[in-house]
């Protein structure tokens, strides 16, 4: 069984033999939920590529002293995958973020698509983004990720078109496409962007705007997946063709 992983703000100065303090909610979770005690081992990461194998030296209610045993600096996985996720209804957004984080996405972009059932405005948008970020943080720990994914602010279709133009490869999932995702040529490096539409599907105007910006419309198969699972399926299919999964 792999060791529990906890996020800390910074590990840039960590070296074997040094002591790292874990405080607040992370320490409380380690002590009260996982019941870690002195002498037990765990993994710490700053979410920016540094991973530390450590041993608990002292455990308090909201503070954990960890002795550094090993330090590993990991490069960011390439190619990096960004998923633009149209806002789904209910808690399906958090489900999508959880799975996309576990599978290895670098960036998750909430998108206010024209047919999105959920509508984020003002305070609701701020709360929605905060909830997605908290979900990504917890999923990253569960997946033992050294790099924490970024969850951006809410994007409009024009914003997404700008992301498409900057990507090395951008695909738009569309059940009516005659092009299978499996046949799209992948870049060895850079950024792959996947656009996932809402429950009601993409409008013709959205497809036109994104393809005009450089995206390729593709289909996964004959089945039509939920918006909360389509992105995960697409990313898995893409990563299986890269060195990241070989």
Which of 144, 149, 194 lies closest to 167, judged by CA? 194
**240 DSSP assignment:** T
Judged against a pLDDT cut of 90, whether residue 64 lies above it is answered with no
**Domains of the chain with bracketed CATH:** 5-73 (2.40.240.20), 80-245 (3.40.1280.10)
Q: What is the pTM of this model?
A: 0.91
Residue 40 reports pLDDT greater than 90: no
What tokens appear for 113 in the block? 């698509």
Residue 6 tokens read as: 């906890």
Q: Percent of the chain, pLDDT > 90? A: 66
- The answer to whether 14 and 20 have CB atoms below 8 angstroms apart is yes
Residue 233 pLDDT exceeds 70: yes
Tell me how far apart the alpha carbons of residues 238 and 235 are, in angstroms, rounded to a whole number.
5
d(CA 241, CA 234): 11
Over residues 131-137, mean pLDDT: 97
For residue range 1-34, list pLDDT tens digits in order: 688 888 888 787 888 988 888 888 887 777 777 7
For 120-143, what is the mean pLDDT? 95
Query: Could you identify the residue written with the tokens 């990241």?
Result: 244
Helices then strands, counting H and E runs in the chain, come out as: 6, 11
Q: Assess contact for 219 and 177: CB atoms under 8 A.
A: yes
């Amino acid at each position: 069984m792999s060791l529990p992983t906890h996020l800390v703000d910074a590990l840039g100065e960590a070296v074997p033999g040094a002591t790292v303090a874990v405080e607040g909610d992370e320490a409380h979770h380690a002590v009260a939920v996982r019941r870690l005690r002195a002498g037990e081992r765990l993994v710490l990461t700053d979410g920016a590529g540094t991973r530390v194998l450590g041993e608990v030296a002292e455990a308090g209610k909201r503070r954990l002293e960890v002795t550094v045993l090993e330090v590993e600096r990991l490069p960011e996985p390439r190619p990096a995958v960004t998923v633009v996720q149209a806002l789904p209804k209910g808690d399906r957004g958090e489900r999508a973020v959880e799975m996309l984080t576990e599978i290895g996405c670098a960036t998750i972009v909430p998108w206010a698509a024209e047919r999105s059932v959920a509508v984020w405005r003002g305070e609701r948008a701020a709360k929605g983004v905060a909830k997605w970020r908290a979900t990504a943080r917890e999923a990253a720990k569960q997946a033992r990720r050294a790099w924490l994914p970024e969850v951006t602010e809410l994007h409009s279709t024009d914003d997404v078109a700008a992301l498409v133009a900057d990507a090395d490869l951008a695909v738009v999932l569309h059940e009516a496409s005659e092009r299978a995702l499996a046949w799209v040529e992948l870049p060895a490096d850079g950024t792959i962007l996947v656009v996932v539409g809402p429950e009601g599907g993409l409008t013709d105007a959205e497809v036109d705007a994104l393809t005009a910006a450089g995206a390729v419309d593709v289909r996964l198969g004959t089945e039509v997946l939920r918006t909360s699972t389509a992105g995960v399926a697409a990313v898995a299919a893409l990563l299986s063709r890269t060195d990241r999964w070989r």
